[in-house]
Amino acid sequence: MLQGKKILLCVTGGIAVYKAAALTSKLTQGGARVKVIMSASAQQFVTPLTFQALSRHDVYTDTFDEKHPQVIAHIDLADWADLILVAPATANMIGKLANGIADDMISTTLLAAAAPVWIAPAMNVHMYEHPAVKRNMARLDEFGYRFIEPNEGFLACGYVGKGRLEEPETLVHLIEDFFSAAKEQPLKNKNVVITAGPTREAIDPVRFLTNHSSGKMGYALAEAARDMGANVSLISGPVSLKEPAGVEIQRIQSAEEMYQAVMERFSDADIVIKAAAVADYRPKTVHGDKLKKQEGDLVLEMERTKDILKILGQKKTHQLLIGFAAETDRMEEYAKGKLISKNADMIVANNVKTKGAGFGGETNIITIYKRDGSAKECQLMTKKEAAQEILREAVAELAPGEKECK
C-alpha cells in the first residue's frame, strides 16, 4: 500500500521526535517516499542528519534555504505530498496552524498544502487539556485536518496521562489504511448515520439503567465508512472510546435523545446503521431527587421507549437501513423476524453469548441477513474487519449491478 506514496513528515519539538525517526524508517522500508521538515525545536532533540539518513532525502529546516533554484521549496513540498503528517505536533505548532501563522518552514508549507493533513499531538497532559489547545484543535478539525489522538501513559515530564505520541507501528497502519481506502472510495459523497454504544435511562439523579455495549462495533463502522469516503455522523451513547477523526459526533444519553439525533439526520442520510444497544424500556417516572432506600422491595414501573429502527423502517424513502440483532438464542429466527418487522434492508446478527462475539471485546462473529433471503455467515474477525464486511455489503446493496460474490 505504501509503495511510491509521497509522505511529508513535519517534525516539531518534543521528546517524541525519536518516534518520528522510527516512523520515517518504517515508512521508507514499506516503500513510501518520505521527505522531512524539522522545526528549530525538533532539532534540539535529534539532528536533521538522522532523518536524512532514514529518509534518504534532504531534510528541510529553513524556509529560505532554497535547495533547488528552479522551485520554491515550501510550495514544491506542499504540492509533492500525497499525505502530510505532523508528528509529533506540539501545542505551539497546533496554535500556529490554527491561526494561519506562517513563520517557519512547517507552518508556511502547510498553509500552501492541498493534500490531507494529519496531526499527531504529543505533549504534557495538562497542556493537551488546556482550553487554548482544545480550541485550536477544534479549529483545525473544522479545516478538515485529521487528528491522531495521543495515547495515555507515562509521559517524559513525569506525569501519567494523555499525551504520548501514537506508536510508529500504529501510525504506519493508519497510513496504510488511508491509502488503501483512498484507492477506492465507494461511499464518496454518501451520508452515513451510525449509532453506537449503550443508552442510559435515568431512574433518579444518581441511578440509571443501561447495558454492556462499549461502542466498539459502532465506532469501527464509523471509521470504516469514513475511510470509504462517506460523510459520517456518529450518534454515540456514553462510551470511553477515542473519538474517530473526520467524523461528526453527537453524544446522547437516552433512547429518546438518540431518536431525536437520528431523526434530525434521517432525510439527508443515504445509509443508516443502528449498531447501538438501545434500551427497550425506561422507568415510567424519573424521580427528581435521589430515591431513598426503604424496608422491603422496590418495584420500578417501566414503559416502552421508541423503537427507532422500526420508525425509520416506516419512514424510509431512499435510505438503506441496516439494523443489528443482539441475540442469545434462536439468532436466525429472531434476526429474520427483525428484518421484516422493522422493514430493514439488512440485519447484522450476533450471538452475544458466544465467545469472541458481541459486547465489549475487539472481535465479533456476525451473520448478515438480507431482504432477498440470503445470509452471509462470517467467521470470528476483528470489529474493524466486521465493519468493513458490513459496509461492503451495503455498497453492493446501493449498487446492485456491481454486486460481487465473495
Interacting residues toward ligand PMT by CB under 6 A: 197, 213-217, 255, 274-278, 280, 305, 307-309, 323-326, 338, 350, 352, 358-360
Has 157 been annotated as catalytic? Answer: yes
Amino acid at 145: Y
95 versus 198: smaller Cβ distance to ligand PMT = 198
The angle subtended at Cα 82 by Cα 77 and Cα 87, nearest 5°, is 75
The helix (H) or strand (E) run that includes residue 110 is helix 105-111
Q: Closest approach of Cβ 195 to ligand PMT, in Å?
A: 6
Q: Closest approach of Cβ 175 to ligand PMT, in Å?
A: 25
5 versus 338: smaller Cβ distance to ligand PMT = 338
Q: Closest approach of Cβ 258 to ligand PMT, in Å?
A: 8
Rounded CA-CA distance 61/130 in Å is: 28
Distances in whole angstroms, Cα of residue 159 to Cα of each of 87, 151, 155, 156, 166: 20, 13, 5, 7, 17
122 versus 387: smaller Cβ distance to ligand PMT = 387
Contacts of 60 (CB under 8 A, 6+ apart): 35, 36, 37, 38, 67, 73, 77, 105, 109
Q: Closest approach of Cβ 217 to ligand PMT, in Å?
A: 4
Give the closest residue to 325 by CA, choosing from 334, 317, 316: 334
295 versus 329: smaller Cβ distance to ligand PMT = 329
Amino acid at 307: D
Instruction: Find how far residue 319's CA is from the centre of its chain.
Output: 23
Q: Closest approach of Cβ 323 to ligand PMT, in Å?
A: 4
Q: Closest approach of Cβ 210 to ligand PMT, in Å?
A: 12
Specify the pairing of strand 151-154 against strand 160-164: antiparallel
Specify the pairing of strand 320-327 against strand 271-274: parallel
212 versus 403: smaller Cβ distance to ligand PMT = 212
> In the numeric block, which cell numbers belong to residue 19?
518516534
111 versus 311: smaller Cβ distance to ligand PMT = 311
Residue by residue, DSSP assigns 132-183 as: HHHHHHHHHHHTT-EE-PPEEEE-TTS-EEEEEPPPHHHHHHHHHHHHHHHH
- The owner of cell 475487539 is 362
Active site (catalytic) residues? 157
